Amino acid sequence: MISAPVLPLLIPFLLILTRLGSTLLLLPSFSLVTGSIRIKLLLAAMGAFLLTPLHIRGDWSTVSSSNLLFMVESELLLGFACGLAGRLIISGLLMAGQLIGQVSGISLSELRVADEEAATVHGRLLVLIGLSSFLILGGHRQVVQALLDSFQTIAPGAILPMDSLVTLLQDVSGLAFHLAVRISAPILVAMLIALLAVGMLNRTLPQLNIMAIGHNLNALLLLVLLMLSVGSIAWVFQDQMTMALDQMQQVLRGAIAT
């Protein structure tokens, strides 16, 4: 039996740990070592330990077991929604890489990372470019600030309407598709023009046997286009991630206002 003086410390710690843990568990780790789940849980516990003193209230000791269960479920749903929103933005990069690989004809190779699903080499390359630029530009501080602001906007234990979470996921899904199109469209157009040019050249001069070296030409052209698009990929990902974080804050504030 837990004594009453401990409840004002234990209950907010449990609620904060639930939100942070569920958020971090759904975020991609992109780690080349195993045990990333344990590392995420450790980070969530450290964050909950730091944030608990800010949310200590005297009325925590009067919370019933049924209300505590509803609070934990609400924190789980909110954390899963935030984590899934971040995962959807990352999936936009993977989707762009998948489209580029299919059009270029180099989508057979896959790269599997520990604790993550298999993805094409182009998708993994785009993810690494986007995340690297995001970290260099201080995006990790924006993510941490957004998580901290979520506790100011929605206090631990607050019941959030399901409509707000569904709206958040819908908006972020649209941003993910937009990200995939903005990144892949220029490369896809250039690849299609190159394929048409190679096809016309093969019809005009069949003795050159262009189709024998067409695969190598596609690979070389794709490499050049990716090198030229590194700057734009970084800028587009930074822009879409910032929009996703702003959208999350707007949805959470709107849910509290209603």
Residue 1, number of CB atoms within 10 A of its CB: 3
pLDDT in tens, 114-163: 445 556 777 788 888 888 887 887 777 888 888 888 888 888 877 777 78
Structural domain boundaries, residue 171: 73-255
Q: Is residue 145 in a domain?
A: yes
Q: Is residue 107 in a domain?
A: yes
pLDDT in tens, 2-46: 455 666 778 888 888 998 988 888 877 654 444 578 888 888 889
Q: What is the mean pLDDT of the chain?
A: 79
Q: Is residue 236 in a domain?
A: yes
Considering the chain, what percentage of its residues have pLDDT values greater than 70? 83
Q: Is residue 31 in a domain?
A: no
Q: How far apart (Å, rounded) are the C-alpha atoms in residues 134 and 242?
A: 10
Q: Is residue 59 in a domain?
A: no
Please, are residues 234 and 130 in contact by the beta-carbon 8 Å criterion?
yes
Considering the chain, what percentage of its residues have pLDDT values greater than 90? 1
Q: Is residue 153 in a domain?
A: yes
Q: Is residue 121 in a domain?
A: yes
Q: Is residue 90 in a domain?
A: yes
pLDDT in tens, 44-87: 889 888 888 887 776 667 777 788 888 888 888 888 888 888 88
Q: How far is CA 199 from CA 61, 78, 182, 210, in A?
A: 75, 52, 27, 8
Closest by Cα among 40, 34, 23, 237 to 116: 34
- Bigger pLDDT: 184 or 103? 184
Q: How many domains does the chain have?
A: 1
